Amino acid sequence: MKVCIGLLLMLYSGWALGQCKMFIVRPFTDPVTEKICSSALLEDVKELYSNIQQAHPDLYRNVSKETFDSSYLNLVHQCSQDLTLLSFVGELNKFLQQLKDSHTFVSVRDLLSYRSFSRHYLPLRLMEQQGEVVVVKAWENIIPSGVQLLSINSTRVSTYLKSAPQFAPIEAIADSAFHLMMPHVTSALMNLSHPNKWNTVVWFDGKDSLSEVVRSPKISKTQQGELFKGEPIEISFERKEGAGILKIASFSPRNIKGFKKKLDQIFKEVTEKPVDKLIIDLRNNTGGYIVLQEYLMSFLVPKNTVYSADYVYKRSPFDRFSQLSKLERKRFVRAAKRFYPNGAISRELDFYNKPFGSLDTVTNNPVLKNKQGLTYWGPCDLLVNELSMSASANFTAWFTERQRGEVIGSPVSGTNGGTFANPYTFYLTNTGLPVSVSTMKINLLSEGQKERPLLPNHWVIPSVEEIKKQVDGVLNFALKH
């Protein structure tokens, strides 16, 4: 044991002198300054490529094999030198972006778990207006809302904004949503590069440039907050100016039954005490369970309405069937055999019995229904933005196709053709980086239909004045529209 400890101390002493690291220990690795040895990076790159080839259900949907392989060779070339973890994530994502699959990605925010014991983090919600980075909201209002953020510790914020594109996910042809992602990435990059308790921040309030030493809390304190991980309340409902406002922060609730029960209660109330208009707010809802997306749909259409989608699967050690426990697999097989050979679950059983590498398309035609058989027949608006992803994007595609109402806000990270889904996360051996890879593709288009981005009927971006007053300009537009 003493020999092992001594060896570790010798290794860390070597690293302190500027040598690269051959293996990563998260608590002791700075993702921005310390370099990882090229040989370790190349092993991880090879592992990444192999796993994606095994798992991804539609690898060349948005990119040719030649272009993808050429991008891989470029990644190998870039990793022929020692890189920091931050630079490595940037190179990985430039490669993965070729797939245009927002579910197959390495999140830059995952780097916050490295050296986290000494890390401070200032949650900031930012937006870009005409090339300027504006603070929408800051932790405990430490930085005023509506000001233009100029620099942090003498580094201009525009530096992080310019490097943000290589760290942002993109879905198919949703280019407008991709560009709107940049301020969200900028916030993470700034915090990664300035993890200290005290940082000098400069901003412009419209009249003067102000410099202030700002205190950032420990990251452990901020991780559970709204500005870091999203709304704490999954579903909320309120009445305002005659409208009912249903906000769904996520389709990945802690309790699926509780989620459905809450929707049942809300739509029962709307049925018994009608509203002039229902406003469904899916802004910042990054997705979740398809069944809950479908459950919400069931309240907006007549009974017995069918929702058709093709699910493209690839049998692999990473697919959802391989991730089931032994007991769950037995339950799945038993349930499928009860319906065999009818229904989508029977076709899934056929797929489950195929060898790894097999591709299959299962058409799913669920009848949309809810427990109480409720339907809301009135007018409806849908609020979305660039962080409306996955199940939220698919809901938007369906909502638009059904012409169920007006879509208000900014472009969604998805298209009318359906998104990738069921991501599996594996960890690269040397760097420990979590990589998300899709294991399913949802196809919503009929033959002959053309894929297009999901753009709102009314593109509404909050003004600086609305931000300063903490007024929800998008919601106000919906209420007055």
Q: pLDDT, tens digit, for every residue of 364-417?
A: 899 999 999 999 999 999 999 999 999 999 999 999 999 999 999 999 999 999
> Over 80: is that where the pLDDT of 300 sits?
yes
Q: Which amino acid is at 74?
A: N
- Only one residue has tokens 């949802």, namely 442
Cα distances (angstroms) measured from residue 29 to each of 22, 45, 357: 11, 19, 37
What is the bridge-based pairing of β-strands 277-281 and 380-384? parallel
Give the contacts of 422 (CB within 8 A, at least 6 positions apart): 319, 320, 438, 439, 440
- Only one residue has tokens 């399913």, namely 440
User: What is the arithmetic mean of pLDDT over 347-354?
Assistant: 89
Strands (E), 315-433: 359-364, 380-384, 406-409, 420-421, 424-427
Q: Average pLDDT over the chain, rounded to whole?
A: 92
> Over 60: is that where the pLDDT of 4 sits?
no
Domains along the sequence of the chain with CATH: 1-229 (2.30.42.10), 235-480 (3.90.226.10)
> Over 50: is that where the pLDDT of 314 sits?
yes
Strands (E), 267-358: 277-281, 309-314
Q: Strand, coil or helix: what is 480?
A: helix
Confidence class for position 10, pLDDT limits 50, 70, 90: very low
Q: What is the pTM of this model?
A: 0.92
User: What is the arithmetic mean of pLDDT over 4-14?
Assistant: 47
Q: pLDDT, tens digit, for every residue of 37-67?
A: 999 999 999 999 999 999 999 999 999 999 9
Ordered strands of the 420-421 beta sheet: 359-364, 309-314, 440-443, 420-421
- Contact, 401 vs 305, CB < 8 A? no
- Contact, 157 vs 186, CB < 8 A? yes
